[in-house]
A and B are shown apart, each in its own frame.
Chain A
Amino acid sequence: MEPLKMIEKDIQPMDVHPMNDILRMDRLPHIWCPGCGIGTAVTAFAAGLDKANIDLKKTCIVSGIGCTGRVAGYIKLDSFHTTHGRGIAFATGIKVANPDLKVIVFSGDGDLISIGGNHFIHAARRNVNMLVICINNFIYAMTGGQVAPTTPLAAYATTSPFGCVEPPFNIPYLADSSGAVYVARWTALHVRRLTNSIAEALNKPGFSVIEVISPCAMYYSRINRLGDGLDMMKFYHDNSEIRHGEDTKNLDIGFQTKIIVGKFVDRERPTYMDSYNKWLSGTKKAEK
């Protein structure tokens, strides 16, 4: 077998992968299961950082708790691994204390939408200048597969052995109605579009939300008998439909139904720091 020899000859030392510069090599290999899509999203994020052409010395990343909450530990930027659900609250503090920084919140659905739900909607309402990347794997994966606010109706989970009875959150609709300026949704399969979306959102002032639908091979797929991560990727390939500018009301995800992806909202609103500075300069003038 000739090709096999070629691999042996070309194998490279561990420090030459092009993304090694942005990863904390002492922490790898990461904890994510085989077939998990979070690693793919992190790769797309690293490629998007490269593409956005921003100053990495002035970029920081905040994560909460959970599988996706580990991202901040693996990315070699100034990173915060915060308490459960408070990623956006920490990020708002960072942004207000030093408005020069570019702040990215990289966390999961259970962290951002359930436990940090109030922080999410209020940061969107204030339009704090940050990028929120929300990995949606439909479940609380790290703690053992409990029902999350994004678990589709009738899906099984560890805490819903007869099927989930609660209607799930529609994250783009939540973000849009709360006032986010950039809302997109991609799956872990759409790596190129996700990379472009991250690069675009990084250069957009305001509260940007990118939802990434990701396979959870160990809990969500296994308990629902959906196969492994690769089978989930094939499902996304067959059942996702790109509709840019779609009304966010129509983006509900049911159990194994069609997933509509794309860029839904792209608008301009004054950011929190803009309105704050404008108001403050107005009052100072009034005092004089």
Chain B
Amino acid sequence: MRYWEVPFGKEKPKTPIGEIHILKERCKGCGFCVEYCPKDVLEMSDEFNSKGYHPPKIVNGEACVNCGLCETICPEFSIWCTLKEEVALEN
């Protein structure tokens, strides 16, 4: 049985900050990660890999919240993200 509750605002919710890693040589340029990133961190780049596809590039790296959707939706196992740090929300 729970006798007391933690008051609201006692523990500040923390936002995870993620870091994206891309293996450009494995990428086949399908664009799933670019389309479905909820924070629009990625964009197709103009450069080619050795297979001739355009891998994604990071344009807004600070916005990544380590949700891992790019890692799960990538069919080529070529992108993943790791937790860099957790910052407390301001107010």
Contacts and interface: CB of A to CB of B under 8 A. Distances in A.
Contact of B71 (A7, A18, A37, A189): A18
A288 interface: no
B48 interface: no
A33 to B, nearest CB: 8
Contact of A233 (B19, B28, B35): B35
Interface residues of A, number: 39
Interface residues of B, number: 31
A39 B30 CA distance: 11
Q: Which of B24, B26, B30, B76 has the most CB of A within 10 A?
A: B30
Interface string B73-86: 11111101000000
B61 interface: yes
B75 A7 contact: no
Given A3-B59, A34-B53, A192 B75 contact: no
Contacts of B77: 17, 19-20, 23, 28, 39, 43
Contacts, number: 89
A11 B24 contact: yes
Nearest to B72: A191
Contact of A3 (B21, B61, B73): B61
A29 interface: yes
Interface of A: 3-4, 6-7, 10-12, 14, 16-20, 23, 28-30, 32-40, 42-44, 47, 189, 191-192, 195, 228-230, 233-234
26 contacts: A3-B57, A4-B45, A7-B57, A11-B24, A12-B23, A16-B21, A17-B77, A19-B77, A30-B76, A32-B75, A35-B30, A36-B75, A39-B75, A40-B72, A40-B73, A40-B74, A43-B71, A43-B73, A189-B36, A189-B73, A191-B72, A229-B30, A230-B31, A233-B32, A233-B35, A234-B35
Interface of B: 19, 21-26, 28-32, 35-36, 45, 53, 57-61, 69, 71-78, 80
The list of the 7 closest CB pairs from A to B, nearest first, reads: A39-B75, A34-B28, A191-B72, A35-B30, A34-B30, A40-B75, A230-B31
Given A43-B72, A192-B69, 15 more contacts: A3-B57, A3-B59, A4-B57, A7-B57, A11-B24, A16-B21, A18-B71, A28-B26, A30-B76, A34-B30, A36-B30, A40-B75, A43-B75, A228-B30, A229-B32
